[in-house]
């Protein structure tokens, strides 16, 4: 027999219940975590943009003496505390999360947009209502929910704990090129759902900012940029877009039939093409000119690399091709090997 009821309530409903002391924001069933200011800002930015947030679990009981329903938040209390605090001018959204509404308290938002306060108050929250259930039943529900939870991968853990401008520009670029990832067989939809597109873009954006780095350093750069990210996100996005545009122009038929559809080699292709356009930081190889008249020859030369991957013996190849092939077959993502692979591709373009 079903012992919960799925409903939606507006933010204003929760505000009224809280004012009437009919809402218990109890951490009884949850860890007593404390959200950072950035986490609070990011949640309210999500709401103000009209995007969905996870559902809440609420136990509803009837107080016989007062004849009033009491709602105890058993999952989502930090989110509700954040929402109520924002509505009471407890904090404002950071400008890095929302340029338009950032820096203004809730009571000031009508000065920016006369409709926005009403839109926030009318925002619907999805709720599973647990009516008159005892503690042991609620604990059993959460035990079952956790049994089916997917273990978070590294990027999903990073995403849950960071709210910087770096994270936001990485997310924006990753989503923008969703079709590019799938059409070129770089990533499947399933891998994108597990945020592997975000991992790839973060890796490439780090290369744009810092030069070629080890993939293992992604997490440390997220932490570094959380504290301070003094870079022009519009410039980063424009350079990323232009590099992808160049890849599309040269590989007009896409990458799906080339070795460059493999993530570690796509990284090499991207950094090589980026270097021809904007120059990589701390990369010593001369940047070649990518004239449009050379596009077809560059494409043929790069596609021709497919042949060396099919060879059973490679002793007849030039030393630099053997090195590139060995570096590529191992799919290594440390800094030294990545630099060698990019040097090979840039030198190949220079030879045309």
Greatest pairwise CA separation for the chain in angstroms: 91
Confidence of residue 117 (pLDDT cuts 50, 70, 90): very high
Indicate whether 151 pLDDT > 70.
yes
Question: CA–CA distance from 46 to each of 43, 116, 152, 337 (Å)?
Answer: 5, 13, 21, 40
Same domain, 89 and 194: no
- Tens of pLDDT, residue by residue over 73-109, are 888 989 999 999 999 999 999 999 999 999 999 999 9
User: Are residues 182 and 242 located together in one domain of the fold?
Assistant: yes
Domain with 55 in it: 5-147
The last residue of one of the domains, among 125, 147, 169, is 147
Q: 193 and 67, same structural domain?
A: no
| 65/171 same-domain check | no
pLDDT at 35: 86
Q: Which of 117, 147, 177 is the last residue of a domain?
A: 147
Tell me: do 245 and 130 sit in the same domain: no
- What DSSP element (H or E) covers 236? helix 233-250
Percent of the chain with pLDDT over 90: 70
| 170 plus 210 within the same structural domain | yes
- Specify whether 109 is located in the same domain as 227: no
Q: Do 160 and 290 share a domain, yes or no?
A: yes
Is the model's pLDDT at 310 over the cut of 70? yes
| Number of domains within the chain | 2
- Asked if residue 171 and residue 283 are part of one domain, the reply reads yes
Residues 178 and 264 in one domain: yes
* Model confidence pLDDT, tens digit, residues 170-225: 999 999 999 999 999 999 999 999 999 999 999 999 999 999 999 999 999 999 99
pLDDT for res 1: 57
- Quote the DSSP letter at residue 114: T
Q: Is residue 115 located within the same domain as residue 187?
A: no
pLDDT of residue 134: 86
Q: What is the mean pLDDT of the chain?
A: 92
Is residue 124 very low, low, confident or very high in pLDDT (cuts 50, 70, 90)? very high
pLDDT level of residue 291 (50, 70, 90 thresholds) = confident
Is there a single domain that holds both residue 103 and residue 219? no
Q: Please state, in angstroms and rounded to a whole number, the distance separating the CA atoms of residues 103 and 94.
A: 6
User: CA–CA separation, 352 vs 350, rounded Å?
Assistant: 6
Q: Give residue-wise pLDDT tens across range 52-63.
A: 999 999 998 887
């Amino acid at each position: 027999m079903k012992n919960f009821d799925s409903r939606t309530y507006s933010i204003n409903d929760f505000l009224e219940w809280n004012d009437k002391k009919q809402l218990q924001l109890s951490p009884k069933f949850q860890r007593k975590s404390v959200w950072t200011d950035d986490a609070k800002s990011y949640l309210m930015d999500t709401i103000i943009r009209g995007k969905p947030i996870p559902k809440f679990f609420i136990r509803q009981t009837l107080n016989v003496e007062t004849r009033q329903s009491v709602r105890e938040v058993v999952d989502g209390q930090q989110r509700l505390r954040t929402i109520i605090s924002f509505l009471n001018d407890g904090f404002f959204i950071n400008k890095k999360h929302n340029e338009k509404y950032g820096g203004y308290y809730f009571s000031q938002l009508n000065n920016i947009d006369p409709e926005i306060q009403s839109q926030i108050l009318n925002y619907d929250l999805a709720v599973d209502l647990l009516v008159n259930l005892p503690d042991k039943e609620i604990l059993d529900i959460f035990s079952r929910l956790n049994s089916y939870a997917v273990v978070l991968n590294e990027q999903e853990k990073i995403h849950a704990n960071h709210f910087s401008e770096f994270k936001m520009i990485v997310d924006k670029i990753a989503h923008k090129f969703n079709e590019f990832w799938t059409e070129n067989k770089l990533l499947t939809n399933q891998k994108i759902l597990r945020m592997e597109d975000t991992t790839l873009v973060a890796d490439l954006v780090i290369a744009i900012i810092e030069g070629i780095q080890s993939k293992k350093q992604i997490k440390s750069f997220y932490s570094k940029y959380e504290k301070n990210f003094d870079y022009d996100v519009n410039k980063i996005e424009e350079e990323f877009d232009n590099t992808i545009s160049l890849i599309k122009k040269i590989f007009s038929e896409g990458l799906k039939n080339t070795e460059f559809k493999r993530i570690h080699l796509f990284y090499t292709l991207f950094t090589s093409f980026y270097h021809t356009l904007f120059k990589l930081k701390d990369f010593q190889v001369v940047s070649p000119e990518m004239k449009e008249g050379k596009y077809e020859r560059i494409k043929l030369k790069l596609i021709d690399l497919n042949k060396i991957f099919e060879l059973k013996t490679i002793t007849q190849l030039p030393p630099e091709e053997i090195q590139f092939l060995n570096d590529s077959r191992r799919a290594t993502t440390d800094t030294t090997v990545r630099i060698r692979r990019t040097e090979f591709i840039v030198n190949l373009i220079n030879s045309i």
